Amino acid sequence: MTIIKFEPLYKERPWGGSNLGTFFEREIKLESNNIGESWDIVDRNEAQSIVQSDLYKGLSLREIIARDCLTIMGPNWDKEARFPILVKWLDCRERLSLQVHPPDKIASTLQGEPKTENWYVAHATKDAGLFIGFKQVSNKQYFKKALADKDAENLCHRIKSKEGDSVLVESGRIHAIDGGNLILEIQQNSDTTYRVYDWGRVDKDNKPRTLHVEESLESINFNDINPTLLNTQNSVGILTLANCKFFRIKKYSFSKGTKINLKVENIDCSIIHLISGSIQIGKDLIKKGEQALSPFSSNCDVTLLTDSVFLITDQFVNEYNLGGLVSN
């Protein structure tokens, strides 16, 4: 066993589109033109990744960790703990809500879970952009008034996005993804999102979606001013995109025929995210848009079958993630 691949779980969203099928050449059996999310790796009570093939075919991510925790996660992981990372593709045909995820220190008081995430833009239209942080220092009272006046957008910092852009969205950072973005989101295993503003959008029943204004005001970092994007479109070789206490993400961009050993055996569990091209690990192929889990006990020798770009997420088996280390 060299890698483990899972069946994607597709989610309809009012802002979603059809790019997940067309861009990645996937057969999606949902009869909808509003597929906003593909949950490619997830271990939650309400959603479980199912193994596609080989040794664990048909089993859930939760089941295979419980069965073979040492092999998959290594000796320091509690087999009862949830897999600490959730991986999604987001097809944002329209603008998402203006939102925030609660920071560690207050998440539990709000009955939520903290979430730090990283966005990598795989494709963007010419008008695409991202809202992250504020244009200038604000506060609860001023921002709450702007919400009531429907003027919140003018306080938020919008940046034009393009292919290869990457940004770490830490808990507490106000954010929204504008229409025209196809984004790989790598995040803590959390599903707590507080919507503070939804641009006046209504659902099919002409009702506005639920907002979480008070929770958002408690969570937002009002001193988060004019953050920037890391543009990696022309990067060659290895580039670190994010390195926080919850995970590390590196980008690999190499030409056809390159061979790379991604990790030393028995050192780390990691996730491979193929952005473009085609790669082979052992006898297993990974194609554009696919994710794969490389277990702790496996070596990971990659051969690029074409010019390829892929990301590696690792260093997430630690005390900060949900479940944490087993105490000695």
Q: What is the CA radius of gyration of the chain?
A: 20
Question: What pLDDT score does 281 carry?
Answer: 93
Summarised one tens digit per residue, pLDDT across range 28-77 is 988 788 999 999 999 999 999 999 988 899 999 999 999 999 999 999 89
CATH architecture of 6-231: Sandwich (2.60)
Q: What angle do CA 246, 249, 250 make, to 5 degrees?
A: 155
* pLDDT for 325: 41
Q: State which residues of the chain have pLDDT below 70.
A: 1, 264-266, 322-328
Per residue in 12-22, pLDDT (tens digit) is 999 999 999 99
Q: Where are the domains of the chain?
A: 6-231, 237-314
Q: Which residues are catalytic?
A: 195
Per-residue confidence (pLDDT) for residue 327, from 0 to 100: 35
Fold of domain 237-314: Jelly Rolls (2.60.120)
Same fold, 6-231 and 237-314: yes
Query: Which burial class, exposed, middle or buried, applies to 91 when counting CB atoms under 10 A from its CB (0-12, 13-18, 19+)?
Result: buried
- The number of CA neighbours under 13 Å toward the Cβ of 11 is 16
What pLDDT is recorded for position 265? 59
